[in-house]
C-alpha cells in the first residue's frame, strides 16, 4: 500500500512549464504551458486531442457528462414543448376549454383521424427521446467509481461496468441511487397517460329509417300516418317549449330539425337542402358505416303506391342506435328488433351490382322493394381533443426527469467507470491487488471460485476458438429478457385470438377486412367496456405502454452486453486505443456509452415504432352520440378500442426483434479472449501489466494476450501490452497472473 501511495503522489503531481510532447505525444505547444495529466479518479478533465490547444475544462463539458448534458437538454426541450403547447391551448378561447378538455379541431372525421395519427406519432417520438435519455442517464448513475469497486473487491464482490445493472444500486452513493429511482419512477405515469393526452372523439348520429310508398311526397297523394305507429318519432318530439308529442292537439316545437322531419312525415318535402335524393348504390354506401357522422334520417321509397293494399303512405319506421355493435346491420336485417343479428351489411350493395333489387322485410313480415332514398345530410363534428389534467401529469414527470438529469451533470464531478475503456485505463494505472494472480479469469471463474473465497493459482487455457456474442450476456439476463418477451407475446396472441372471435360474430375475419378497418380506428364492435369518464379507459389502454418500456430496456441491455463483449474481444484481435469518456493523449473520446450509433439509432427507431403500433392497437375510444335531431343523448361514451391488424403487426415485429437479437448473438467475437462480460473483477484481473510503465501503456494502442514469461515467473502471463510481441493465448498452456507487490 505504501508503494501505491508513492505512485499516487507521483501521478497527482502537476509540474508546469514549457514542454514538448515526447514520442507518445502529438506535436509541440509553444504558446502555453500544459499540465501533466491527472489519473482517472481526478475531478478535472484532461487535454482533448492533437488539434486542440491544451487547457482545463469543467468536468461537465467532457466524457459521459456531455452525454447526460445532451439528455438533459433534450428533456428540457421536450418539457418546453409540452408546457408551451399546454399553456397555448389552455388559454386560447378558440379551443373551448371546458372541464379540463379542450378541442383542437372539430370537423371532418377523416381530417381528425389524420391529425390524431400525426400527433400520436409526434408524441411517441418525444416519449422515445425521454425514454432513451432516461436510460442513458440511469446507466451513468449506476456506473461505479474506482473507490466503490475497490471496496467491493475487498469483500470479494464485483460490480457491473458498461451496462445498466441493478447490482450496483446498493453499492453506490445514496444520492445517485435516489436520482436513479426518481428518473425510473417518473417514467411509469408518463407512459401511462402521454398517448391519451391527445385523442380523437368521434361524432355519431342515431337516425330514423322510414319506409314510405312511392307517392308519399306527391302533392294531393292519399296520406294517412295515424294507422302506422310512429312512436319512435313521438318519443323524440318533445321540445323545451311544449311537452306534447307530435300528433297531439296544440303540439309545437322550437327544433328546426323536428319541424323539418314532421313535414317529411306529412309528405311535404319543402327543404331540399337538408334532404337529398340518393341513388341506391349511394345510399347503401353512405349508410354502411359503424358511426354515421355526415348523414342522419333516411326515407326509403318503395315501388308500391298507396292503394287498397297499402292504404297508408308511411309503411314502417325504426330507430337505429349507434351504441349497439355493428349498427349498419339494419340494412340486411331490417325486421330485427335489436339489429345485432349477424348478417352482411354489404349484401344490398353486392345485390345491386349484380342487378338484383334491394328488398326490405318490414316488421309486419311484408317484403317491399326499395326504389330510391332521401337522406338528411349533416355536417361532421368529429374532434381532436386535449386533456389538460393528463398533460399536467406528463409535464410533472417530464420536469422531474429534466431536474434529475441536470443534477446528475452538476453534482456528479467524481469520475465513474462508465465504459470498458474507463475501467481498463483505471486498472492499468492503479492495479487492484484483490485480483492479482488470475490473469486467465473470466466471469464464471469470478463467480464460482474467486467470489467464494477460494485460492487462485496457475491454470491451463482451455478455450479453443472464439466465443459467440451471446456468451457475454449472463444467463439471468437472457432468461429475463426472453421469458418476459415470450410471456407477453403469448398473452397478446391469446388476447388477439379472443378479440378476433368477438369481431367474427359480426364481420368476416380475414387480413383484407381487418386492414380495411384500419389501425387505431374506432368502430362499434372493436371496443372493450364502456365508461362515463376517460380515466379508466386511459389507464387500461396505456398500461401496455409501461410493459413495452420495460421490455425495451431489457432488450436494450442484451445489445449493451453483447457489444461490450465485442469491444473487449477486439483487444485480442489487434492493437487499439482505449475509448474513454475523459481522454488523455493517445486515447479516443466517446459520446456514446456502450451501444454505437449504428445500433443505437435502429434500436430507438424500433422502440418508437413499437410504442406507436401499441398506441394503434389499444387506444382510448370516445364517441359523442346525437339523437336523430342533433341533440346530445348522453355524456360522451369512453371505452378501450382495439385494432386486430395493428396487434398482428405488433406481434410480428416483436417476434422479429427477438429473432434479430438471437441472430446477432450468434456472431463470433473478433479474437480469443476471456469472457468477462460486465464483471469488474474479471476486467481487473486482465489488467495487471507486465512491467511496462502504466502511463506509457494507456497512451498507446494496446492489445491483450500472451506476453510470455515475466521475471521470476515460471508460467506465462496474459495482460494488456503496447508491444508488438503480444500473441493470442495458446490452448493447453499454463498461465498465471502477477503476484506479490503491485507493479
Q: d(Cα 524, Cα 209) in Å, to the nearest integer?
A: 19
The x, y and z cell numbers of residue 543, run together, are 398500461
List all residues 6 or more positions away from 301 whose beta carbon is below 8 Å from its beta carbon: 212, 213, 214, 216, 217, 370, 371, 372, 373, 374
- Cα dihedral sign for 356, 360, 365, 368? negative
Q: Do residues 81 and 126 lie in contact, with contact meaning Cβ atoms separated by under 8 Å?
A: yes
Let me know if residue 367 belongs to a domain: yes
Let me know if residue 583 belongs to a domain: no
Average pLDDT for consecutive 10-residue bins of the chain (743 residues)? 43 35 34 32 36 39 75 93 92 84 87 87 86 86 90 91 84 90 87 82 87 78 53 63 60 72 72 80 86 88 67 80 78 60 71 82 81 88 88 92 90 80 89 87 88 81 84 86 89 91 76 78 79 81 85 87 90 87 77 77 88 87 84 78 90 92 89 87 86 74 84 78 85 74 40
Q: Which residues of 284-299 are buried (b: 16+ CB within 10 A; e: fewer)?
A: bebbbbbbbbbbbbbb
Packing angle of the helix pair 174-193, 388-411 (nearest 10 deg) = 160
Q: Tell me the sheet residues that pair with 302.
A: 370
The x, y and z cell numbers of residue 498, run together, are 379472443
The x, y and z cell numbers of residue 117, run together, are 395519427
Q: d(Cα 264, Cα 712) in Å, to the nearest integer?
A: 111
Q: Do residues 451 and 158 lie in contact, with contact meaning Cβ atoms separated by under 8 Å?
A: yes
Q: d(Cα 700, Cα 189) in Å, to the nearest integer?
A: 48
Let me know if residue 655 belongs to a domain: no
Spell out the SS3 assignment of 683-736: HHHCCCCCCCCHHHHHCCCEEEEEEEECCCCCCEEEEEECCCCCECCCCCCEEC
Q: Please give the C-alpha separations between residue 648 and each of 480, 494, 505, 607, in angstroms, as whole numbers.
A: 24, 12, 19, 17
Let me know if residue 238 belongs to a domain: yes
Q: Do residues 502 and 496 lie in contact, with contact meaning Cβ atoms separated by under 8 Å?
A: no
Q: d(Cα 126, Cα 382) in Å, to the nearest integer?
A: 26
Q: d(Cα 422, Cα 400) in Å, to the nearest integer?
A: 29
User: In 475-578, at which residue ranges do the beta strands (DSSP E only) sit?
Assistant: 527-531
- Around Cβ 28, how many Cβ atoms within 10 Å? 10
Q: Do residues 604 and 474 lie in contact, with contact meaning Cβ atoms separated by under 8 Å?
A: no
Q: Tell me the sheet residues that pair with 356.
A: none
Full domain range(s) for residue 270:
202-383
> Of 132, 15, 277, which is closest to residue 605 (Cα–Cα)?
132
Q: d(Cα 560, Cα 596) in Å, to the nearest integer?
A: 9
User: In 405-467, at which residue ranges do the beta strands (DSSP E only) sit?
Assistant: 459-460
Q: Do residues 64 and 418 lie in contact, with contact meaning Cβ atoms separated by under 8 Å?
A: yes
Q: Do residues 77 and 65 lie in contact, with contact meaning Cβ atoms separated by under 8 Å?
A: no
280-295: per-residue pLDDT in tens? 888 888 888 878 888 8
Q: Tell me the sheet residues that pair with 709.
A: 716
> Of 87, 206, 348, which is closest to residue 634 (Cα–Cα)?
206
Go through the chain and tell me how many residues it has.
743
Let me know if residue 549 belongs to a domain: no
What is the pLDDT, as a whole number, of residue 28? 35
Residue with C-alpha cell 403547447? 85
Residue with C-alpha cell 408524441? 123
**Count of structural domains, the chain:** 1
Q: Do residues 79 and 130 lie in contact, with contact meaning Cβ atoms separated by under 8 Å?
A: no
Phi, psi of 270 (to 5 degrees): -95, -20
What is the pLDDT, as a whole number, of residue 54? 36
Q: d(Cα 625, Cα 471) in Å, to the nearest integer?
A: 58
What is the pLDDT, as a whole number, of residue 239? 62
Let me know if residue 235 belongs to a domain: yes
Let me know if residue 320 belongs to a domain: yes
Q: Do residues 230 and 189 lie in contact, with contact meaning Cβ atoms separated by under 8 Å?
A: no
Q: d(Cα 717, Cα 735) in Å, to the nearest integer?
A: 5
187-210: per-residue pLDDT in tens? 888 877 887 888 888 888 888 888
Phi, psi of 638 (to 5 degrees): -115, 140
List all residues 6 or more positions away from 319 whose beta carbon is below 8 Å from its beta carbon: 206, 207, 208, 209, 232, 236, 628
Coil, strand or helix: which one is 580? Answer: strand
Q: d(Cα 621, Cα 606) in Å, to the nearest integer?
A: 26
Q: Which residues of 698-730 are buried (b: 16+ CB within 10 A; e: fewer)?
A: bbbebbbbbbeebeeeebbbbbbbbeeebebbe
Query: Model-level pTM?
Result: 0.74
Which of the 8 DSSP states describes residue 288? Answer: -
Coil, strand or helix: which one is 267? Answer: coil
Let me know if residue 539 belongs to a domain: no
Coil, strand or helix: which one is 39? Answer: coil
H or E, element range at 296: strand 295-302
Q: Do residues 583 and 603 lie in contact, with contact meaning Cβ atoms separated by under 8 Å?
A: no
Q: Please give the C-alpha separations between residue 110 and each of 20, 105, 522, in angstroms, as whole numbers.
A: 71, 12, 12
List all residues 6 or more positions away from 668 whose beta carbon is below 8 Å from its beta carbon: 466, 467, 468, 469
Amino acid at each position: 500500500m505504501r508503494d501505491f501511495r508513492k505512485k499516487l503522489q507521483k501521478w497527482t503531481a502537476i509540474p508546469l512549464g514549457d514542454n514538448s510532447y515526447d514520442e507518445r505525444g502529438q506535436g509541440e505547444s509553444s504558446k502555453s504551458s500544459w499540465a501533466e495529466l491527472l489519473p482517472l479518479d481526478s475531478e478535472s478533465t484532461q487535454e482533448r486531442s492533437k488539434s486542440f490547444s491544451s487547457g482545463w475544462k469543467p468536468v461537465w463539458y467532457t466524457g459521459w457528462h456531455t452525454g447526460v448534458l445532451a439528455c438533459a437538454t433534450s428533456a428540457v426541450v421536450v418539457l418546453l414543448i409540452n408546457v408551451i403547447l399546454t399553456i397555448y391551448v389552455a388559454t386560447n378561447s378558440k379551443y373551448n376549454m371546458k372541464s379540463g378538455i379542450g378541442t383542437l379541431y372539430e370537423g371532418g372525421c377523416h381530417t381528425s383521424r389524420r391529425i390524431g395519427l400525426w400527433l400520436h406519432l409526434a408524441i411517441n417520438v418525444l416519449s422515445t427521446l425521454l425514454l432513451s435519455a432516461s436510460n442513458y442517464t440511469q446507466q451513468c448513475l449506476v456506473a461505479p467509481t474506482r473507490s466503490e469497486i475497490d471496496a467491493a473487491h475487498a469483500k470479494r464482490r464485483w460490480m457491473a461496468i458498461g451496462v445498466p445493472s441493478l447490482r450496483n444500486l446498493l453499492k453506490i452513493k445514496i444520492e445517485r441511487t435516489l436520482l436513479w429511482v426518481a428518473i425510473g419512477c417518473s417514467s411509469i405515469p408518463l407512459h401511462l397517460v402521454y398517448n391519451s393526452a391527445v385523442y380523437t372523439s368521434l361524432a355519431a348520429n342515431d337516425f330514423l329509417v322510414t319506409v314510405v310508398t312511392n307517392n308519399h311526397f306527391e302533392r294531393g297523394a292519399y296520406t294517412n300516418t295515424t294507422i302506422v305507429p310512429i312512436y319512435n318519432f313521438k318519443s323524440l318530439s318533445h321540445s323545451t317549449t311544449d311537452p306534447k308529442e307530435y300528433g297531439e292537439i296544440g303540439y309545437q316545437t322550437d327544433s328546426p330539425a323536428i319541424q323539418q322531419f314532421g313535414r317529411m312525415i306529412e309528405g311535404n318535402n319543402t327543404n331540399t337542402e337538408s334532404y337529398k335524393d340518393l341513388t341506391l348504390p349511394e345510399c347503401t354506401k353512405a349508410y354502411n358505416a359503424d358511426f354515421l357522422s355526415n348523414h342522419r334520417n333516411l326515407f326509403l321509397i318503395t315501388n308500391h303506391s298507396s292503394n287498397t293494399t297499402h292504404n297508408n303512405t308511411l309503411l314502417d319506421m325504426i330507430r337505429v342506435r349507434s351504441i349497439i355493435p355493428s349498427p349498419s346491420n339494419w340494412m340486411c336485417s331490417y325486421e330485427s328488433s335489436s339489429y345485432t343479428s349477424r348478417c352482411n351489411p354489404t349484401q344490398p350493395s353486392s345485390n345491386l351490382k349484380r342487378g338484383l333489387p334491394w328488398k326490405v322485410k318490414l316488421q309486419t313480415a311484408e317484403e317491399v322493394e326499395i326504389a330510391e332514398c332521401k337522406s338528411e345530410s349533416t355536417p361532421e363534428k368529429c374532434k381532436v381533443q386535449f386533456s389538460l389534467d393528463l398533460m399536467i401529469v406528463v409535464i410533472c414527470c417530464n420536469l422531474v426527469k429534466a431536474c434529475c438529469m441536470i443534477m446528475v451533470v452538476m453534482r456528479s464531478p467524481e469520475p465513474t467507470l462508465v465504459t470498458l475503456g474507463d475501467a481498463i485505463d483505471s486498472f492499468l494505472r492503479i492495479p487492484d491487488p484483490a485480483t492479482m494472480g488470475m490473469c486467465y479469469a473470466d466471469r464464471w471463474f469470478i463467480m464460482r471460485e474467486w467470489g467464494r473465497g477460494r485460492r487462485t493459482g496457475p491454470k491451463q487455457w482451455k478455450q479453443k476458438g472464439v466465443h459467440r456474442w451471446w456468451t457475454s450476456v449472463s444467463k439471468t439476463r437472457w432468461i429475463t429478457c426472453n421469458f418476459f418477451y415470450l410471456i407477453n407475446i403469448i398473452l397478446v396472441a391469446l388476447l388477439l385470438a379472443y378479440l378476433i372471435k368477438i369481431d367474427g360474430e359480426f364481420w368476416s375475419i380475414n387480413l383484407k377486412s381487418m386492414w380495411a378497418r384500419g389501425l387505431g380506428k374506432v368502430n362499434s364492435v372493436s371496443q372493450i367496456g364502456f365508461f362515463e369518464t376517460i380515466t379508466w379507459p386511459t389507464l387500461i389502454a396505456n398500461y401496455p405502454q409501461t410493459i413495452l418500456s420495460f421490455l425495451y430496456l431489457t432488450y436494450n441491455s442484451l445489445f449493451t452486453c453483447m457489444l461490450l463483449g465485442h469491444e473487449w474481444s477486439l483487444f485480442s484481435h489487434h492493437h487499439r486505443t482505449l475509448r474513454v469518456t475523459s481522454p488523455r493523449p493517445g486515447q479516443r473520446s466517446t459520446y456514446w456509452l456502450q451501444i454505437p450509433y449504428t445500433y443505437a439509432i435502429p434500436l430507438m427507431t424500433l422502440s418508437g415504432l413499437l410504442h406507436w403500433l401499441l398506441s394503434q392497437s389499444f387506444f382510448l375510444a370516445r364517441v359523442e352520440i346525437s339523437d336523430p335531431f342533433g341533440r346530445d343523448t348522453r355524456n360522451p361514451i369512453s371505452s378501450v378500442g382495439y385494432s386486430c391488424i395493428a396487434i398482428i403487426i405488433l406481434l410480428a415485429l416483436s417476434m422479429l426483434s427477438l429473432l434479430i437479437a438471437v441472430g446477432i448473438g450468434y456472431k463470433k467475437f473478433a479474437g480469443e479472449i476471456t469472457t468477462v462480460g460486465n464483471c469488474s473483477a474479471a476486467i481487473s484481473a486482465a489488467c495487471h501489466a507486465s512491467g511496462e510503465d502504466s502511463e506509457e501503456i494507456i497512451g498507446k494502442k494496446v492489445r491483450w494476450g500472451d506476453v510470455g514469461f515475466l521475471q521470476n515467473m515460471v508460467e506465462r502471463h496474459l495482460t494488456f501490452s503496447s508491444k508488438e510481441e503480444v500473441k493470442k493465448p495458446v490452448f493447453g498452456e499454463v498461465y498465471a497472473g502477477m503476484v506479490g507487490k503491485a507493479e
